[in-house]
């Protein structure tokens, strides 16, 4: 079965410092990987995706993610964190088992950016 793991429940970083939110995946075949963000009392918002091509994917709000096939990872990064980046971040992978475009989500990582 397709799955993703987010090993950190919470990541703390100071404003202006680089941030990394980790995600590893387990799939059969080529992975389709996604990052979503959830702000308080809101639904999830799409940040970026990796389907194929360049291993460095750029997304919304200055975020980027690096696909690493040998390490089966898809870590989310940003060069300089903002307090407003504080939110819950979810990694997801497409489940191809049924032939339908379903996503399987990780358990989420809370990012706290301190001033």
Residue with Cβ nearer another protein (70 or 98) = 98
HEC string of the chain equals CCEEECCCCEEEEECCCCEEECCEEECCCCCCEEEEEECCCCCEEEEEEECCCCCEEECHHHCEEEEECCCCEEEEEECCCCHHHCEEEEEEEEECCCCCCEEEECCCEEEEEEC
Q: Which of 80, 107, 112, 114 binds another protein (CB under 8 A)?
A: 107
Complex with another protein: residue 14 or 56, whichever CB lies closer: 56
User: Which of these segments, 20-28, 65-73, 78-86, 96-104, binds another protein (CB under 8 A)?
Assistant: 96-104
Please select the residue that binds another protein; options are 11, 44, 65, 81, rule is CB under 8 A.
44
Please report where in the chains the tokens 């291993």 appear, as a residue: 55
Scan residues 62-91 and list those touching another protein (CB under 8 A): 90
Task: Name 68's bridge partners.
Answer: 73
**Binding range to another protein, per CB under 8 A, among 10-18, 59-67, 71-79, 101-109:** 101-109
Site residues (vs another protein, CB under 8 A): 32, 34, 36, 41-46, 49, 51-53, 90, 94, 98, 100-108
């Amino acid at each position: 079965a397709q799955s993703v793991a987010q090993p950190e429940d919470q990541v703390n970083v100071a404003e202006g410092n680089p941030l990394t939110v980790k995600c590893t995946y387990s799939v059969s075949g080529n992975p389709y990987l996604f990052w979503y963000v959830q702000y308080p009392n809101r639904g999830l918002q799409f940040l970026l995706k990796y389907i194929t091509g360049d291993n460095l994917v750029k997304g919304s709000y200055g975020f980027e993610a690096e696909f690493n096939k040998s390490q089966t990872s898809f870590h989310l990064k940003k060069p300089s964190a903002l307090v407003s980046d504080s939110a819950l971040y979810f990694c997801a992978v497409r489940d191809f088992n049924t032939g339908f475009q379903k996503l399987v989500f990780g358990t989420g990582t809370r990012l706290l950016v301190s001033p």
